[in-house]
Amino acid sequence: MYLLQTAKQDALKLLKAALGKAYTPNVDDLEVPPDTTMGDIAFPCFVIGKGLKRNPAELATEIAAKVAPKGLVVKLEAKGPYVNFWIDAGKMAERVLKEVATAKERYGYSVSGKKKRVLVEYANLNTHKEVHVGHIRNMALGQAAANILRAAGFSVVPHAYINDLGNAVARCLWGYRKFHADEKPEKGEENAFFGEVYAKATSAMEDDLAAREEISVIQRELEEGKGEWTKLWKMTNRWSLNGLKAVFDDFGLELEKIYLESDILKSSKKIVQTLIKKGIAVHSEGAWVVRLEDEGLGVSILVKSDGTHLYNAKDLGLAQKKEEDYRPDRSIYVVDARQKQVMAQLFATLKRMGFKKELEHLSYGHVSLPEGAMSSRKGTIIRYQDLMSALEESAAKETRARHEDWDEDRVARVARTIAFAAVKFFMLRSDPDKDIVFDARESLSFEGFSGPYLLYTVARCRRLLEKSEDKPSLDDIRLSSKEAQAVVRALAVFPETVLKTAADYQVSRVAQALFDLAQAFSTFYAQVPVNAEPDEIVRKSRLALVAAVAQTIENGLHLLGIETVDEM
């Protein structure tokens, strides 16, 4: 049990002693105040006040007067409707620094998940289309959620579901034969090539009824798995999948399984037939649907009137396949918030099929650019490769200016790390449900709420430790300054931040905690000497604090899918 968790248990004992049988508080009732002047732990009295029909401020005063500090709690007092608790600063510093030094790269980890199996589905990209900046948010969020759940003790299976069939693929094949017949894209440029084909095909078919009908025929032929179009699909699908896997590798995704829609379709069709026989799916205006109006979810269309299957049908087959493969306790779907209705329809249909496992939609907001929204159909997107190349080039320019003596290989390695830190952190620093405007320049800033700033903080810590003639010591911790204590408090909060995020997937909480820690360290570094401190015991204590900061930020960045560097 980490320091803050132990302190909360001590605070709970005091609260229970004061409240008796009137109310039984639990750890979820306790908060960490935003300001140290309000203590290290706070108990708000609003809920208990409402239940007892008492003024919350009066209750707080009464509770604080009934008990004396004990355990890690050295002080408690009422402030308005809150009972605030202060933790022994010396004990906090000693225990937290030892926890970090002992756990090292596992500081912040726990076993609360009890090895329950959780599937995290993300990176659900389409073949025959371009990968763009909008997809990065999905990949970053899914990667971070999987890492954080694993850190909380869950057995996590990260996987992707690739849409390699459907109308968009049929449209691309039609455009390929019409505009680019017999062309083969260069290696690494597969999906850029198909993105261009897709945009051309979309533009050409808008006012061409015959083209749209031909594309529908192609889609049906692909679903049946036969004919000349299927032969062309197999060849182009191989090219496109190679391009997608290259992106996954480049982004650092560790996917245990990649499911393909083309492999799932057959079982999806069987499920639809079973639903029809059971009366769960009914015929309506030529289509097969599941009526969910009684649940406020409208009608879920499984099969269109032309016989082609929609995502709602195909996802049923995938859910069954994942159940057979992994028998999960919970399944999480990382999908755009605009698909909220579709996901709710899927979950409701699965429930009618007898699924009893936990199904959760981890939604996220839209990504746009300062110039406006992006569109694959219109070709107005920023390609993944182009974005990353531009970020790496900007980072390399800054790195060369700072280190004229570095060779190009070293510059390139550091620039790549900075670029990925920039884009991933930018995508994760906002609450998932919020729409964001991606600003490349802001993401690369070495100051403020950014990935490069956190990388710089770790590098600064590592450099400070490297330059010291002493080694950090935990034998006699002496950290009396308010700046050092603020850093210790930020370190102490980190494990609980990870635990909370594993419960609600608000990954931005981890990003904010790392930034708060970096800010606290920056203030400490500016106000408190480390290597210049004349007292050896104090100096070594401060070095131990510096080492703990570097380790904790590094751990947090790893959870966000971000690597670090020793020098910038």
Sort 523 into a burial class: Cβ within 10 Å, 0-12 / 13-18 / 19+.
Answer: middle
DSSP designation for 308: P
Sort 378 into a burial class: Cβ within 10 Å, 0-12 / 13-18 / 19+.
Answer: exposed
Instruction: Give the span between the Cα atoms of 146 and 118, in whole angstroms.
Output: 9
Q: For 104-127, b where at least 16 C-beta lie within 10 A, e where not — what string?
A: eeebbbbeebeeebbbbbbbbbbb
- Residue 374 pLDDT greater than 60, yes or no: no
**Closest listed residue to residue 549, CA positions, set 461, 463, 464:** 461
Rounded mean pLDDT, 235-245: 95
Give me the pLDDT at residue 408, please.
96
Cα distances (Å, whole numbers) of residue 454 to 235, 512, 522: 44, 11, 11
Rounded mean pLDDT, 357-385: 81
- Residue 553 pLDDT greater than 60, yes or no: yes
**Closest listed residue to residue 165, CA positions, set 307, 311, 375, 381:** 311
Give me the pLDDT at residue 183, please.
92
Phi, psi of 341 (to 5 degrees): -65, -45
How is 244-270 classified by DSSP, letter by letter? HHHHHHHHT---SEEEEHHHHHHHHHH
pLDDT in tens, 485-495: 999 999 999 99
Instruction: Give the span between the Cα atoms of 554 and 518, in whole angstroms.
Output: 11
471 by DSSP, 3-state: which? coil
How many CA within 13 A on the CB side of residue 278? 14
CATH number belonging to domain 122-368: 3.40.50.620
Sign, Cα dihedral of 203, 208, 212, 217: negative
Give me the pLDDT at residue 448, please.
95
Cα distances (Å, whole numbers) of residue 375 to 3, 180, 203: 49, 22, 12
Instruction: Give the span between the Cα atoms of 427 and 186, in whole angstroms.
Output: 30
Instruction: Give the span between the Cα atoms of 85 and 43, in whole angstroms.
Output: 8
**In the structure, what pLDDT confidence band is assigned to residue 378 with cuts at 50, 70 and 90?**
low
Residues forming beta bridges with residue 378, ordered by sequence position: none
**In the structure, what pLDDT confidence band is assigned to residue 156 with cuts at 50, 70 and 90?**
very high
DSSP designation for 431: -
Residues 6+ away with beta carbon under 8 Å from 129: 168, 172, 191, 194, 195, 198, 376
Amino acid at 418: I
Give me the pLDDT at residue 379, please.
52
**Closest listed residue to residue 43, CA positions, set 54, 59, 55:** 59
**In the structure, what pLDDT confidence band is assigned to residue 166 with cuts at 50, 70 and 90?**
confident
Domain range list for the chain? 3-87, 122-368, 384-559
**In the structure, what pLDDT confidence band is assigned to residue 94 with cuts at 50, 70 and 90?**
very high
E strands in 342-402: 358-364, 367-368
Pairing of the two strands 299-303 and 287-291: antiparallel
Give me the pLDDT at residue 369, please.
85
CATH number belonging to domain 3-87: 3.30.1360.70
Give me the pLDDT at residue 83, please.
98
Instruction: Give the span between the Cα atoms of 554 and 549, in whole angstroms.
Output: 8
Pairing of the two strands 117-121 and 82-87: unpaired
pLDDT in tens, 427-448: 999 999 999 999 999 999 999 9
Cα distances (Å, whole numbers) of residue 93 to 165, 518, 520: 57, 17, 15
The answer to whether 350 and 300 have CB atoms below 8 angstroms apart is no
Instruction: Give the span between the Cα atoms of 256 and 342, in whole angstroms.
Output: 25
Give me the pLDDT at residue 377, please.
53
Assigned token pair, 289: 């649907």
User: SS3 letters for 34-65?
Assistant: CCHHHCCEEEECHHHHHHHCCCHHHHHHHHHH
Give me the pLDDT at residue 407, please.
96
CATH number belonging to domain 384-559: 1.10.730.10
Give me the pLDDT at residue 117, please.
98
Residues 6+ away with beta carbon under 8 Å from 476: 537, 541
